Structure 1
């Protein structure tokens, strides 16, 4: 994913949320509407989340160190996970608490009745521009994926996080507008509490989805199937490698993939010839999948006879992959 595209979407969301948070809080002070307070805290939480995403993106650019030899790319995942926690606690749980408090002591909106409706309509317009920016930037990298698949499978967390936050903000504003409007029509503050509760439930659901998806990235995900196929083709697309014995891939960060493979190579006369062949294969992998920046290839002499007898390099592979089919354990290319 384009880092610049993600940053543009984050900045657009940050500017929109700061302005919206200020106007919502002023509206709350004038009307004492719990929906407006919940939405104010929601926008403050979203603003903090966008700041966290920007901080994570900046820290992830630090160079590798002896203590962190693979760099700091995963910091972007860590900060995205923190965002889900903030959204859950500061946004969702606070809104639910405020809904319970308002339900226990409901009161209508008696002064400045036009303010909350005006603020919410303006906020919907401003949030729509932010959401439009996130959609536009996501479309540059989404390709033919559905939106659900994009959110679930994207390796760079920023755009999915901003998309879900902006979607939640828009739906939350509609809920708030519903609660405030019904309160004004019926002169019953319980509708305000209902709107606030709907906002709280929405934020909790979005936070849980974000936490689940980001947790998967933190644990470590392998390359997508099409990238695995491209890497396998690059490895075997030449005389240097006869077959892949086994291969693993792992994202070290949103834009950095590690490839580790044990490959069967033909017999050669000297180490120089072997090293030259491995270098050629590595160059082909990087050309096929540019984000494959860390590559470890372990050459081995594949022996079908050893595989059948259960000894040698092929037998070692079979032990390492107890769930493989017999032909896969014998060295069929795979990941």
Structure 2
């Protein structure tokens, strides 16, 4: 295996979303606001679920995990981008870049895995309601999440080790606003053939299986809905899937748009716009989708806020 020599560089240069000086304050305010909303909104979801015993069910266990991952996902990217905008610099150190690549891959994949687990949870709830609590027991839910983290940890580590063998020229410019694997491979000065093959294989395996799982779950759910005679039962069953379907559409729609823009247009600007939707906007919308469309979460949030207000008033 070719041995990379990265000692000749100390940093990369991130080209960012725009080089227009007049746009920098606007971008800083916009992304800071979106990041704060993402963190606060997802933290509220986590607090509502953990503090309310009525939400201690498999579905909300997965939602809680999704909110945690979304906070970590945004925190991997946005703070460094805000620092660069504020300081009017483009640099990111060698170490910071590869840490960002590693954690970005982990949290992005975990989002997809959790969406698949949530689809399976809805499949069991609607298609096997009498066996739901037996099948989706806490031990199984915990094991599924643990196994997802285990697989993702080693997949991200494999890509990281393969990147470390590559060579980059001094002050390599990355046509993106954060360190992502495809743009990084694009600017490497050494052969990336092995990296590309591993990327395609792991993307196919870890991308296709979750999608197939979601499609299978909803095909079975649709089949069960068609067999229901009561329209009220159909509406109730479908309403439990509404928030999840919104999240699936957002995550996969924006990630596919990012992939297509990077693969076929080779436009860094188009790819970055799609990436903003995928990495910043979607995690921000997650708490709104689950709080506005779900009366249980709205009720838990209301009770949580009332307790905080009462506690503050007592003091």
| Structure (1 or 2) with the larger CA radius of gyration | 1
Q: Of Structure 1 and Structure 2, which has the larger fraction of its residues in helix?
A: 2
TM-score category by the smaller chain?
Answer: 0.3 to 0.5
Q: Could you state the TM-score of these two structures normalised by the residue count of structure 2?
A: 0.34
